[in-house]
Amino acid sequence: MKKWTRKDGSAALMFLMPSVFGFGLFYLIPFAVGVFYSLMDSTVDSHFVGLANYRELLASQSFRKAASNTFYFSVISVPLILVLSLGLAILLSKQIYLRKWLRTAYVLPLVVPVASIILIWQMLFDWNGSLNAWLSGFGFERVDWMKTDAARNVIIIVYLWKNIGYNVILFLAGLQQIPKDYYETAKIEGAGRLWQFGRITLVYLTSTLFFVVIMSIINSFKVFRETYLIAGDYPHDRIYMMQHYMNNMFTSLNIQKLTAAATLMAGCILLIVMGLFALERRYRQFME
């Protein structure tokens, strides 16, 4: 048995080596170099300055604005997409009319290029766009969506449209793994739908829910592409995200602030993921 285990482990390691090598070469090493540059005063003839770049970064008003907007966006959009995707997954797991077609419809945003779809969103939310035409037709005033505080709501809608299908697929896969006998037994014993949802559905969806939360948080930090295509380099203050700040630092070749901001963002994501792991462990211990 020991020989077989060692042989199987060696084979698994050999299959993993290309991926590990690629991940280290294209992700870990560049990130380590970025952290190194964040502690220097320049990329040429550099000198070690410690945390001076980080102190200057935290004192920057534009960075604080970008960080607060990104944090607000994640706090609002992540719980919203979790609730909507889980509700849609539960609905699609039942025998409803056109269920197969609806499942396909939620997958379409994943395969359609964002750059081509952004044109439709621009026509929809432009000052002379379709949405304002409908509002004016019903007697409402036109809204300059991308140049007012409403721009944040537009980005949240685009984020939900783009990512909700992926979460629905994951939740559907998790729901199909729950034995139907548990629900039938709960009904016989007089348990209501709310009790079944809390004691059966959520318990067996813990692993899936944990993964979906992590992916949703990561995707909320990657909303720059959609925001950039809709609003450009310098959007409204409400949708000026961390990625905008880093992109502007790259344009001005301020590598020190760019790498420092990237390191701080990666550190925040790491802390959030570690906190979620701790919550999952405690929840599993509580349920056991």
Tens of pLDDT, residues 15-66: 888 998 998 888 889 999 989 988 888 877 778 888 898 999 899 898 999 8
Q: What is the pLDDT of residue 80?
A: 94
* Rounded mean pLDDT, 202-225: 86
Alpha carbons 248 and 262: distance in angstroms, whole number? 13
Residue 36 lies in a domain: no
Residue 111 lies in a domain: yes
* Rounded mean pLDDT, 263-276: 89
Residue 233 lies in a domain: yes
Give strand ranges (E) for 193-236: none
- The CATH number linked to 122 is 1.10.3720.10
The residue among 69, 75, 58 whose CA lies nearest residue 237 is 69
Residue 47 lies in a domain: no
pLDDT at 287 over 80: no
230 and 122 in contact (C-beta within 8 Å)?
yes
Q: Is 82 exposed, middle or buried (0-12, 13-18, 19+ CB in 10 A)?
A: middle
Alpha carbons 261 and 34: distance in angstroms, whole number? 10
pLDDT at 262 over 80: yes
The residue among 92, 86, 70 whose CA lies nearest residue 212 is 86
Alpha carbons 166 and 110: distance in angstroms, whole number? 7
Q: How far is CA 103 from CA 8, 14, 79, 91, 194, in A?
A: 39, 38, 22, 11, 25
Q: What is the pLDDT of residues 152-206, one digit of tens each?
A: 888 888 888 888 888 888 898 888 888 888 888 888 888 888 888 888 888 888 8
Q: What is the pLDDT of residue 99?
A: 66
Q: What is the pLDDT of residue 77?
A: 92
Q: How is 59-77 classified by DSSP, letter by letter?
A: H-HHHHHHHHHHHHHHHHH
Q: How far is CA 202 from CA 91, 136, 198, in A?
A: 15, 44, 5
Residue 11 lies in a domain: no
DSSP state of 18: H
Q: What is the pTM of this model?
A: 0.81
Residue 228 pLDDT level (bands cut at 50, 70, 90): confident
Residue 5 lies in a domain: no
Q: What is the pLDDT of residue 288?
A: 63
pLDDT at 111 over 80: no
Q: What is the pLDDT of residue 84?
A: 92
CA–chain centroid gap for 208, Å, is 15
Alpha carbons 126 and 140: distance in angstroms, whole number? 15
The contacts of residue 112 (CB under 8 Å, 6+ apart) are none
**Structural domain for 222, as ranges:** 61-287
pLDDT at 254 over 80: yes
Alpha carbons 63 and 257: distance in angstroms, whole number? 10
Residue 88 lies in a domain: yes
The contacts of residue 183 (CB under 8 Å, 6+ apart) are 196, 200
As beta bridge partners, residue 40 has 48
Please count the structural domains in the chain: 1
pLDDT at 2 over 60: no
Residue 112 lies in a domain: yes
| Amino acid in position 105 | A
The residue among 227, 210, 211 whose CA lies nearest residue 69 is 227
Q: Can you give the C-alpha Rg of the chain in angstroms?
A: 23
Q: What is the pLDDT of residues 123-145, one digit of tens each?
A: 888 778 888 888 888 888 888 88
